Structure 1
Amino acid sequence: MSEQRWRQAWAQLIAPGSPFEVVSPEDGGPRRFRHTAPDLLQAIDAGRVHGDREFLVWQEQRLTFAQYFDQVDRLAGQLIGSFKLQPGARVAIAMRNQPAWLVAFAAIQRCGAVCVPLNSWGLRDELLHGLQDSGACLLLCDEARLRVLGGDLGSGSLSTIVVGTAADQVLSEHCLRYEDLLAAPPLPVPSLQLDPDAAALILYTSGTTSRAKGVLSSHRAICQALTALEFQGAFCAMSSPERIGVVINSGLAPTTLMAVPLFHVSGLHAQFLLALRAGRRLVLMYKWDVERALDLIRDERCTQFNGAPVMMQQLLASPRFGGADTASLFGLGLGGGASSSSLLASMIERKPDAIGGSGYGLTESNGIGAAIGGDQFVYKPGSCGWPLPIVDVRIGDDPQHPLPAGSPGLIWLRSPTLMSGYWNLAADSAATLRGGWLDTGDTGYLDDEGFLCISGRVKDLINRGGEKISAAEIEACIGDMPGVQEAAAFAVADSQLGEAVALAVRAEPHLEAGAIQAYIAARLAAYKVPARVYLHATPLPRNATGKVLKAQLQQSVGTFDS
């Protein structure tokens, strides 16, 4: 399909009368979708129509949509009746992916409370920071998180609902068993009128260097984000009809293997909430393991997998990929970080008929920015796609004076999906949201066809004697070297230049530092060649969303004397 036909499909989808009609407010604010749920509770309740269709698969548990919503209503009744939960109160969730997480999220919205998903990979200090910073009045957690926080919870007497404990296990007086609450006689849940601009969610940024900030989002922002994600699905179907036809003709029930964490927008919005509304099956993974993932794809006939680049790389590298075990897999999505050209090429080569895709968004934009999928992904896999129809993108130091197409610079976003601000951080909010525009901290450009291309992070630039070097460019280069499994470029202090380029690499045993430097020297300018290469025998440290913890790598090395 040509660019002209893609644009015709796009225009048709957002035209007046369409389910994805886009309108421009008279006050000059960002464009928005006309037809969205007014609040997250109504967006979630749309999933009730799917009734007895299977929704969740996790270990030995299987829940239909009707069973899921029965548990939601039972838990919401207990939250209001037993815990006196009030609209606007903050309720935290700290557990690995499992059905109880999804039940808890919807029950919290059913009460008009604000959900605070915490990083289940986090250690004690990170979990405590989220609880204390948000002012949570109630915590729902699994047994592993209870062990991490046990002493702290006891001293503060924070009401806690614990998932997965044995019936005969003795809990502290402030703790109740989740399973007991669901088994109790149901309590009434009064109907609510929610303000679309009221707070619905506080998601903590997956920071790799500093204390995570709470991103506060309204019901309206999240509902607009969900419609934007649904628009992208519809556009992909219209612009790639042959690929969609293969999926439909397979006769398989749409089923997503979900391995990314629910406390991140790519898991919460793009997988859980979309599946709930659309009637898709979700197969949950407690934690990522490539062999287990392949078993589940085979046994549950999964049709879709979305993951971080490191997950996709492991999946594609398996000798089982492309055979009978992945015969049902028609959709492959990337998110959470930059992908090397070799990974993108491998996706297209190994599954040429698949619906590949990726996108660009931030926690602060509820995951919404640009997106690409299907035929467009094959056409320009290194880009993030076109900005979604309710998103304005400008490039440059000042959004009021944008740079022309093709010129790289700071990326600014404007859309109705942006956060209300950082929780209790007025100065940080004002610095990041300026005149309705979000300073993403990312650098990139819009090409002459309107595709957004990301080149790196402003904070991920290495200043070598005044020359600004993009860590992402070095990582993309070495990512194409045979034998390299993962790599991260970062700055080290240099006594003469201020900063020097360092590169952490996990590779096959035969690769040496000199060969890695020579490979880069043959492809990039001499000043971009890493002064030091650190070879790692084990995986590089990453956070829960797959981003390398560069601060941790920096702390493990000293000053470089050039």
Structure 2
Amino acid sequence: MAVPAAASVRDADRYRPVEVTGLVDLLDRQVRERPYARALVVTGERVQLSYRALATLADDMAARLGGAGLGRGDAVGLICANTAEFVVGLLGAARAGLVAAPLDPALPAPHLSSRLTSLGARAVLLDASASGVGSLPVPAWPLRVDVSGAGTAAVVLEPGVCAVPQVMGGSRELSERDALVLFTAGTTDRAKMVPLTHANVAASLRNICGTYELGPGDATVAVMPLFHGHGLFAALLSSLASGGCVLLPERGRFSAGTFWDDMRTVGATWFTAVPAIHEILLDRSEREYPGPQVPPLRFVRSCSAPLNTATQRALERTFGAPLLSAYGMTESSHQATSEPLPQRGPLRQGSVGRPTGVAVRVVDRGGRACPAGVEGEVWVQGPTVARSYLADGDESARTFVGGWLRTGDLGTLDEDGYLTLTGRIKNLINRGGEKISPEHVEDILAGCPGVAEAAVFAVPDAVYGQRVGAAVVVREVDGIGREEILRYCRDRLAPFEVPDRLELVAALPYTAKGGLDRKAVQARYVP
């Protein structure tokens, strides 16, 4: 049964500043004040789990992990989809004083093994989605959360009879003040490991909840994978910290076909996703968006990749809610900037908003602050920023400088502190000395009527060093051709930015996080 939207909420359901110190006490306030309020909606039957029930499951999980031989500060892997098992495993590990390391269930077994070994994990928890991962270098314990239709649940964990072995050669840089280790670098087996403390987590949740004024009257659907900071911090943890509710889709992953029914079921007031998912929902909206049957949304959030302005405005018209762009990195515990709620400040076209609880500056190659409007590298400093990478001193020295995180992103700040991103330093195309941002060219291409998606890449050239290539997905109903797209570009780009090579393709490759997979694009379209 659908839950009515929180169009008019009681005072007790409104935003209150978050009071957490990390993952350990994430549920405590709600258990004290609203124990029977719904925290999660899970399984295909959409069963509601209360805060009290979830806390009981987490405590049971913590006791079982401690009883299996894991000690405080030990790392444990978590290979789960967006399921109750993920949430219980994560919070149970935290309450046991362990450090949880979520991993993508879709990674090949050699990559999973490499990450677990580099981390020095002593065990890994698996849900049903990880049944085909193969052999792993540490004990793998199947985890199941049995949920009844009445909202009662029980943890089933089968760690076996063997003691947890000591793992040699892994990172020993963790302690019980650490909450999480998240991995970067997509699907490679050389991913960087980012340790985040409970203090980092708490600061991030305060910033996110404060930016969007999340409270007990809010609910959302977990669209993004929880092994990545976007889904983990912005959807799951911020909702639980603020007393809201999260629906975990059936089979633990986003489905465009069931999305609006999920939103209606939970009475969602907002959701967050990457631009690729927003594009999917927009493309299907004419036949699938249920209009008045959907609870009115307070806002929609976009993060983890650039969202072109034309798509943003079309989404706002379709969904009848402001679309707020945000920016962050794994190393900054997800969010660093965001557009504010409309009642809290103006929206700036093309911007990713103002800093949220951190300091942001744009610097030149010498590390000097750039004047307003001048492009440079984006640096971030504050309580959400990680201390370093694990077991990678050289990369840590390059990235974490004097308390600042060098993001590798290019951008500008205006006089009011709004950040506009212009590209990635490592993605720049050098065409005869002219530096071209592929993200900028993609934004122009995406604004062309009939273009659904675009990827821009460097094509080797004997004369200029590099030329501009583009792969473009067009909407069949519009019937737009190559010459029309190039004509549109010539009217809006500098001559050296116009693609020298443009291919019309059926689809573009994306990473598990939902961002454009530039390595796959380069391999697929560059000879």
CA distance in 1, matches of 2:349, 2:340: 9
2:467 alignment partner in structure 1: 500
Amino acid corresponding to residue 345 of structure 1 in structure 2: R
2:361 alignment partner in structure 1: 393
1:438 aligned residue (405, 410, 416): 405
Amino acid corresponding to residue 424 of structure 2 in structure 1: R
1:230 aligned residue (194, 197, 209): 209
Amino acid corresponding to residue 99 of structure 2 in structure 1: V
1:270 aligned residue (234, 252, 264): 234
1:451 aligned residue (392, 399, 418): 418
Change (3 A) 1:130 1:277: same
SS in 1 for 2:516: coil
Residues 335 and 360 in structure 1, CA contact (< 8 A), matched pair in contact too: yes
- Pair 1:260-2:239 in alignment: no
Deviates more, 1:486-495 or 1:197-206: 197-206
- Pair 1:79-2:48 in alignment: no
How many residues align? The count is 482
Amino acid corresponding to residue 198 of structure 2 in structure 1: H
Amino acid corresponding to residue 113 of structure 1 in structure 2: L
SS in 2 for 1:67: helix
Q: How far is the alpha carbon of 1:287 from its aligned partner?
A: 1.8
Deviates more, 1:125-134 or 1:433-442: 125-134
1:104 alignment partner in structure 2: 89
1:488 aligned residue (444, 447, 455): 455
Post-superposition Cα deviations, 1:211-244, rounded to whole Å, max 9, x if no partner, equal 321111122222111112222134xx9xxxxxxx
CA distance in 1, matches of 2:260, 2:393: 45
SS in 2 for 1:443: strand
CA RMSD for the aligned pairs?
2.7
2:253 alignment partner in structure 1: 287
Amino acid corresponding to residue 133 of structure 2 in structure 1: V
2:109 aligned residue (114, 121, 124): 124
Q: How far is the alpha carbon of 1:137 from its aligned partner?
A: 0.8
SS in 1 for 2:202: helix
Q: How far is the alpha carbon of 1:78 from its aligned partner?
A: 0.6
- Pair 1:54-2:26 in alignment: no
1:312 alignment partner in structure 2: 278
Amino acid corresponding to residue 159 of structure 1 in structure 2: P
Residues 143 and 165 in structure 1, CA contact (< 8 A), matched pair in contact too: no
Post-superposition Cα deviations, 1:26-56, rounded to whole Å, max 9, x if no partner, equal xxxxxxxxx9644431344334233111111
CA distance in 2, matches of 1:180, 1:210: 31
Q: How far is the alpha carbon of 1:415 from its aligned partner?
A: 0.8
CA distance in 2, matches of 1:381, 1:110: 43
- Pair 1:181-2:147 in alignment: no
Residues 217 and 421 in structure 1, CA contact (< 8 A), matched pair in contact too: no
SS in 1 for 2:131: helix
1:420 alignment partner in structure 2: 387
Amino acid corresponding to residue 48 of structure 1 in structure 2: V
Deviates more, 1:407-416 or 1:38-47: 38-47
Q: How far is the alpha carbon of 1:377 from its aligned partner?
A: 7.4
CA distance in 1, matches of 2:178, 2:302: 29
Amino acid corresponding to residue 281 of structure 2 in structure 1: L
Amino acid corresponding to residue 203 of structure 2 in structure 1: Q
1:162 alignment partner in structure 2: 142
2:161 alignment partner in structure 1: none
SS in 1 for 2:25: helix
2:291 aligned residue (318, 323, 348): 323
Q: How far is the alpha carbon of 1:179 from its aligned partner?
A: 4.7
TM (norm. structure 2) is 0.85
Residues 27 and 55 in structure 2, CA contact (< 8 A), matched pair in contact too: no
Change (3 A) 1:225 1:362: same
CA distance in 2, matches of 1:393, 1:196: 31
Residues 36 and 51 in structure 2, CA contact (< 8 A), matched pair in contact too: yes
CA distance in 1, matches of 2:188, 2:370: 30
SS in 1 for 2:116: helix
TM (norm. structure 1) is 0.80
Residues 40 and 109 in structure 1, CA contact (< 8 A), matched pair in contact too: yes
SS in 2 for 1:343: helix
Amino acid corresponding to residue 443 of structure 2 in structure 1: A
SS in 1 for 2:335: coil
Q: How far is the alpha carbon of 1:484 from its aligned partner?
A: 1.1
- Pair 1:67-2:53 in alignment: yes
SS in 2 for 1:266: helix
Amino acid corresponding to residue 344 of structure 1 in structure 2: Q
Amino acid corresponding to residue 118 of structure 1 in structure 2: L
2:487 aligned residue (518, 526, 529): 518
2:28 alignment partner in structure 1: 45
1:114 alignment partner in structure 2: 99
Residues 325 and 338 in structure 2, CA contact (< 8 A), matched pair in contact too: yes
1:12 alignment partner in structure 2: none
Change (3 A) 1:55 1:36: closer
Residues 226 and 269 in structure 1, CA contact (< 8 A), matched pair in contact too: yes
Q: How far is the alpha carbon of 1:557 from its aligned partner?
A: 3.1
SS in 2 for 1:477: helix
Structure 2 unmatched ranges of 5 or more: 1-15, 147-153, 159-173
- Pair 1:301-2:267 in alignment: yes
1:339 alignment partner in structure 2: 307
2:512 alignment partner in structure 1: 544
2:373 alignment partner in structure 1: 406
Structure 1 unmatched ranges of 5 or more: 1-18, 21-34, 167-177, 183-194, 238-247
Residues 144 and 156 in structure 2, CA contact (< 8 A), matched pair in contact too: no
Post-superposition Cα deviations, 1:251-296, rounded to whole Å, max 9, x if no partner, equal x952101110111112111221111122111111222221210221
